[in-house]
Amino acid sequence: MPDFIKRAPLRSGIDRRSALKLGAAAATTLFAPALVRAESGPIRIGHLTPMTGFLGTLGEWAVLGIQMAAEEINAAGGVNGRMLEVRSEDSINPETAATKAQRFLEQDGVDFLMGEISSASALAISEVATRNERLFMALGPRSDVLRGARCSKYMFCTDIPNTVMVNAVGAALKRDGMVEGKRFFTLTADYVFGHDLLKAAKAFFDANGAELIGDELVATDVTDFSAFILKARQAQPDVVCLNLAGNQVTNFVKQYAEFGLPYPTVGFNLNTADAWAAGVGNLSGTWPTVWFDTIETAGSKDFVGAFKAKYGKTPENHAWIEYIALKIAAKAIAETGSAATPGMIEYFESEAEFDILKARPAYFRKEDHQLIQEAYPFSVKPEGSYSDVQDMLALGPAVPGADQSLEAIYPPAEAGACKI
Amino acid sequence: MQIVFLIEQVVNGLVLGGYYLLIALGLSLIFSVGGVVNLAHGAFYALGAYVSVQLGRHVGFGAAAAVSPVLVALIGIAFERFLLRRFYREDPILGLLVTFGLAMVAEQAIRMIWGAAPLPASLPAALRGPVIVGDFLFSRYRLLMLGVVAVVLGGIWLLLNRTSFGRVVRAGIQQPDMVAALGIRLQPYMTACVMLGVGLAALGGALFAPITTVHPAMGAEILTIAFVVVIIGGLGSFWGVVLAALLVGVVRGVSVHFAPAASEASMYVLMFVVLMIRPRGLLGEPIEKFER
């Protein structure tokens, strides 16, 4: 830096910069003894999730879920006597997510990274994690590409991928005779997640004799869908099918009910929170989910009870996934005796099983680092049969059936493009 | 058939433009009288939506949509009296900063009162459904909304152009010192205008609550569009804002027809083109106090 500006020396004779450095050093020594990274200090986890924008609603739930897990673990004495310190920040968009991930690792000295809902931001964080050779648990993103061509040795994905969501709904649609010979018009979120979901949907249509007669890409900040609804009508489809994300789904279903088009809607992506946000009488059709609060397992019931007691509301799927993911991470740290990345990766790759509050335990598949687990279709109860939005969804049976391998609904590992 | 589809999109765009108008008109009005760029305008829109949903649970949709703008307008009085008034004669950047801060405070306040999760809100069944005229399909509710906008617009035009109230306001916009010299206190007129602008934003929120996601950040979503409309129309111009709102709606509708992926960008392109040709906006008038 050119030294154009003469620095005024302080009275003691040291210049401003040295004084600042001294001050910073003093502050560090006084207030941050944990910088001496002893194995006895807290385990720091950098948690990134969108808290604003079209996925912001979901991110708020994510924070509640991971906080509750951290509090439970710490109240029970931490992991191997070490407390968990989860720092949550708004990831906003891929660029900011990458910057914050780098800062978490460089300046805040976190042990590993967790979080995210946006597939695009997750890809950006994954690149940072890979460059720094540090673990990143991608909790909410669903793009197949994160488990395929863009997978990483350092990234583990806990949500169900797009292909599983399509398969979970697809089975229910086939049962109802809504696939073969039907003409589909799709609306797709215009970013990596939507494109990826459309690809999975196309594969499903091709394999089951359905026809895709039109698709519209919708920017993620679109809030008025009237023009798209008119286009759907112009196409005269049998079924309107949504590959949208976050708030987009809520806005679309409200406006679709407003316009009152006769074509049934189905969708390959919906989060419970976005369904609740739509309000009574707007949502219809069959949708996939990774978890729902009426799942009949003791673990789920306990979780729902504790969550309601703590926050006064019913948890949705992102609160659940963040909760179980932190428990998974804690188990890995406890089993390997440290929060170091190589040990945790090795542990996950051993396909160790985790209780995720469903009927069957889950495991990370070694080949592509994704959590293999059950999924569920759900449908909307007829209008008038419920009074509260939180009662309007009816959960279907888990897929795959109890007699099938969990991997039956996943793309086969050997066919995947993931090379770890 | 193609041309029918296109006309359908143009008409739908006009309806959408009518709704943008509610937000943009208030923004333009507040800027015209006080010279303050009100970045908190979106917050009043959000507040209008939240209050109407909350009230609607007890008194029904129609009554809530009518009462909520009035209640929020009352907040607008306090906003003008205790905050905005101090910034009329200050550097514009100060007004910008304080309203920006207020927008953030309002968003967090909504989060604290109603929670971060969106508020569910639905249209009454009687208002749902299409109106089909020949080959064209319209949403019954949006047609109704367009009617409300037209009535409100007519009312404001009459108020500003055919009443003594309007004469003072228009004179105050152009020559505040001259009006003061004539012995007229502008302050109550300012308060009334801000109240009106805030009420319009809240009406927009109340009308749109059943067909959009009612969440704490909804104000920020609408504010950008409202600004684009005001800038295209020209600051201080009533008909400029009307024209620009309809134009933005139509441009969006038409771009969805031809290039759907670019539809969100279309209004910014429109703004760019307009500013290149007419930096003052389509019908913007020169206003003395901004020409320094």
Alpha helices in A316-381 (DSSP H): 317-336, 341-349
Q: Which among B118, B125, B213 has the least Cβ separation from residue A281?
A: B125
* Residue pair A148/A416 in contact by the 8 Å Cβ criterion: yes
Decide if B42 contacts B223 (C-beta within 8 A): yes
d(CA B258, CA B261): 9
Cβ neighbors of A71 (< 8 A, separation 6 or more) are: none
The residue type at A380: V
Write out the CATH class of domain B2-290. mainly alpha
CB contact under 8 A, B122 and A255: no
A36 pLDDT higher than 50: no
Token pair 């039956």 in the structure block, residue: A408
Q: Residue A63 half-sphere exposure, CB side, CA atoms within 13 Å?
A: 17
User: For residues A337, A340, A345 and A348, what is the CA-based torsion angle, rounded to 10 degrees?
Assistant: 30
Q: How many CB atoms lie within 10 A of CB A131?
A: 13
B52 touches chain A (CB under 8 A): no
Residue A167 to residue B3: CA distance in whole angstroms: 39
Higher pLDDT, B180 or A4: B180
CA neighbor of B33 nearest in space, from B158, B189, B156, B179: B189
Q: What's at B38, amino acid-wise?
A: N
pLDDT at B291: 53
pLDDT, position A75: 97
The string of pLDDT tens digits covering residues A235-251 is 999 999 999 999 999 99
CB A194 within 8 A of CB A188: yes
Provide the strand spans (E) within A147-276.
155-157, 183-189, 211-218, 239-243, 265-267
Q: How many CB pairs under 8 A join A and B?
A: 125
| Residue B286, pLDDT score | 66
Mean per-residue pLDDT over chain A, rounded: 90
A-chain CB neighbours of B13 within 8 Å are 227
Give the domain ranges of chain B: 2-290
pLDDT at A58 over 60: yes
When CB atoms are compared, the residue of A57, A190, A258 closest to B139 is A258
pLDDT (tens digit, 0 to 9) for every residue of chain B, 292 residues total?
Answer: 678 888 889 989 998 999 899 999 999 999 888 888 899 999 999 999 999 999 999 999 999 999 999 999 999 999 999 999 999 888 889 999 999 999 999 999 999 999 888 999 999 999 999 999 888 889 999 999 999 999 999 999 999 999 999 999 989 888 888 999 999 999 999 999 999 999 999 999 999 999 999 999 999 989 999 999 999 998 778 899 999 999 999 999 899 888 887 888 999 999 999 999 988 899 887 655 555 4
Q: What is the dihedral of CA A95, A101, A107, A111, to 10 degrees?
A: -170
- Could you tell me the strand order of the sheet in which A136-138 lies? A84-90, A43-49, A112-115, A136-138, A155-157
Test B211 with A254 for CB contact under 8 angstroms.
yes
Q: Say if residue A217's pLDDT is above 60.
A: yes
Residue linked to tokens 């679309």: A252
Cβ distance of B137 and A224 shorter than 8 Å: no
DSSP 3-state of A137: strand
- Cα A121-A146-A351 angle, rounded to 5 deg: 125
| Residue (of B241, B276, B274) closest to B23 by Cα position | B241
Residues 6+ apart with CB under 8 A from A320: A65, A290, A291, A303, A357
Flag whether residue B5 sits within 8 Å of chain A, measured between CB atoms. yes
Mean pLDDT lowest among A135-139, A355-359, B55-59, B116-120: B116-120
User: Is A282–B118 a contact, with Cβ atoms under 8 angstroms apart?
Assistant: no
- pLDDT bin (cut points 50, 70, 90) of residue A11 is very low
Above 80 in pLDDT, residue A38?
no
Residues A72-93 have pLDDT tens digits of 999 999 999 999 999 999 999 9
The answer on pLDDT for A24 being more than 80 is no
Most B CBs within 10 Å: which of A88, A250, A254, A316, as the mutation test of the B interface? A254
What are the φ/ψ torsions at residue A395 (nearest 5 degrees)? -80, 135
| B141 touching chain A per CB within 8 A | yes
CA of A273 vs chain B CAs: smallest distance (Å): 7
- Give which of B12, B2, B31, B56 is closest to B248, Cα–Cα: B12
- Do the chains contact at A231 and B256, CB–CB below 8 Å? yes
Do the domains spanning A43-160+295-374 and A163-289 agree at the CATH topology level? yes
Indicate the pairing of strand A376-380 with strand A393-395: antiparallel
pLDDT digits (tens, 9 = 90+) for A256-265: 999 999 999 9
Question: In this predicted structure, what is the pLDDT of residue A33?
Answer: 41
Asked if B263 and A282 come within 8 Å (Cβ–Cβ), the reply is no
Nearest partner of B56 among B70, B46, B45, B68, judged by Cα: B68
- Give the residue from B273, B284, B270, B186 showing the smallest Cα distance to B234: B284
pLDDT average, residue stretch A31-56: 76
Largest Cα–Cα distance of chain B, in whole Å? 63
pLDDT at position A19 over 50: no
Q: Looking at residue B176, what is its pLDDT?
A: 84
Percent with pLDDT over 70 in chain A: 90
Q: Work out the burial of residue A1: count CB atoms within 10 Å of its CB; fewer than 13 is exposed, 13-18 middle, 19 or more buried.
A: exposed
Residues in chain A within 8 Å Cβ distance of B211: 251, 254-255, 258
Name the E strands within A190-244. 211-218, 239-243
Q: Measured between CA atoms, how close is A56 to chain B, in angstroms?
A: 9
Phi-psi region of B47 (alpha: psi -120 to 50; beta: other; left: phi over 0): alpha
On the question of pLDDT at A28 being above 60, the answer is no
User: Length of chain A, please?
Assistant: 420
Nearest to A412 by CA among A225, A238, A161, A231: A161
Give the nearest partner residue to A282 out of B115, B117, B122, using CB atoms: B122
Residues of A with CB under 8 A from a CB of B: 52-53, 56-57, 60-61, 190, 216-219, 221-224, 226-228, 230-231, 233-234, 247, 250-251, 254-255, 257-261, 273, 276-282, 313, 389
The Cα of A259 is separated from the nearest Cα of chain B by a number of Å equal to 5
The whole-angstrom distance between residue A160's C-alpha and the CA centroid of its chain comes to: 9
Backbone φ, ψ for residue B132 (5° rounding): -110, 120
**Reduced to 3 DSSP states, what percent helix, strand and coil does chain A have, rounded to the nearest 5?**
45, 15, 40
Question: Where do the structural domains in chain A lie, given as residue ranges?
Answer: 43-160+295-374, 163-289
The CATH code of the domain at A43-160+295-374 is 3.40.50.2300
CATH of domain A163-289: 3.40.50.2300
Q: CA-based Rg of chain B, rounded to a whole angstrom?
A: 19
**Does the pLDDT value for residue A34 go beyond 80?**
no
